[in-house]
Amino acid sequence: MVRLQAPLPDRYTTAEPGALEAMIRDAKATLGERLVILGHHYQRDEVIRWADSIGDSFKLAQFAAENHSADAIVFCGVHFMAESADVLTAPDQHVYLPDLNAGCSMADMANIEQVEDAWDDLASAIDVEQVVPITYMNSSAALKAFVGRHGGAVCTSSNARAVLEWAFTKGDKVLFFPDQHLGRNTARSMGFGLDDERVWNPHKDFGGLEERDVKAATFLLWKGHCSVHQRFRPEHIAAARLENPAVEIVVHPECSNDVVSLADKVGSTERILEWAAAAPDGSSMAIGTEIHMVQRLAKAYPSKIITSLDPLICPCSTMFRIDEPHLAWTLESIVAGAPVNRIVVDDDTIEWARVALQRMLDIH
């Protein structure tokens, strides 16, 4: 999805790091408790140092919802995260994204028109009432609202299995979007196999499938992926083990199944953080996730050898769009009473997206 970010004034683009630091510090001091800055783990260090709370997308949205003193929430992450914060916060709290171009390529691989078309196609072939739509947290508010309206729920990478187990108490098939890999890896952890899944390609007629495929499938997995996590390959694991047979391979469940099946541990962003903290001194860990987070862990635990599983080191290019100039511009605009880049979700979408999120929260 294309979002157009206006060019920054020269005051910010030509400013020295020290000047930007002063702008941000002064704006934070002026706004005080009116402001909260949220920073996703994948943000660059120059931005994350200003965050009042650091976490994954859902943790940060929850933090925003629980903070009732701040009316200005600056989300240093990507677009769907800022939307989720707007869904979960009060009407008098406003959410801002420092750079509108900070999207998520995975989230953009499924839009509401494509999902509605897929739903109509499924309804023409099977009893769609038996299909439970599940959307990953990494999706637009419109998709969260869609699953809310159609009896489904949102999931995160840490609770995907619990949400899918719940889904099979409501129907006999799941339409899982937008990340096929999280869906597949979770299905395999539940004992399902290749014969139980089909990939729905939104760019082909009827998802590129035959009617018999849809009838046979238990999991209809959307053809989407994370541009960072798809880079990790089995050969990276082989090379890491060859270099150090004692290395522990830890990957995110957005990685492909051939990578996940070879890893020692598979877990969400927050779980990876916990494992890194708990690892004994002197241990070695090769992590398959975004490089800024891996480098931050390596710095936080110098007594441990923490490296990226990918030797070419791939950052999340959309997260990387948020920088100090954009943060300073956003904060100073709020101070001036002319805030920029407010993220607004309409009331109907908020209502149904909250339904889907609440279903997830109610699942144990």
Task: Check whether residue 158 and residue 218 sit in a common domain.
Answer: yes
Amino acid identity of residue 174, one-letter, is V
Residue 347 has pLDDT above 80, yes or no: yes
Cβ atoms within 10 Å, residue 218? 16
The Cβ of residue 318 has, within 10 Å, a number of other Cβ atoms equal to: 22
| pLDDT interval class at 58 (50, 70, 90) | confident
Give dist(CA 104, CA 14) in Å, integer.
27
Q: Which amino acid is at 30?
A: T
259, 288 Cβ separation under 8 angstroms: yes
Taking each helix axis from N to C terminus, what angle separates 180-189 and 160-167, rounded to the nearest 10 degrees? 80
| Edge-to-edge strands, sheet with 284-288 | 265-266, 248-251, 284-288, 305-308
Residue 358 lies in a domain: no
161 shares a domain with 241: no
Are 178 and 152 in the same domain?
yes
pLDDT over 90 (residue 364): no
In-domain check, residue 352:
no
315 pLDDT band, cuts 50/70/90, is low
CATH number at residue 42: 3.40.50.10800
Q: How many domains does the chain have?
A: 3
* Local structure of 60: helix, strand or coil: helix
Lowest mean pLDDT among 15-29, 56-70, 229-243: 56-70
How wide is the angle at C-alpha 132 spanned by C-alphas 134 and 206, nearest 5°? Answer: 90
pLDDT digits over 194-233, tens only?
Answer: 999 999 999 999 999 999 999 999 999 999 998 888 899 9
Beta carbons within 10 angstroms of residue 190's beta carbon: 15
| Upper half-sphere CA count for residue 72 (Cβ side, 13 Å) | 23
Is the per-residue pLDDT at 348 higher than 70?
yes
Residues 244 and 182 in one domain: no
pLDDT at 61 over 90: no
| Residue 158 structural domain | 107-226
The pLDDT, as a whole number, for residue 361 is 86
pLDDT tens, residue by residue, 148-175: 999 999 999 989 999 999 999 999 999 9
At 141, list the tokens: 């508010």
Q: What is the arrangement of strands in the sheet containing 342-343, beginning at the earlier edge strand? A: 53-55, 35-40, 72-76, 94-96, 342-343
Same domain, 191 and 112: yes
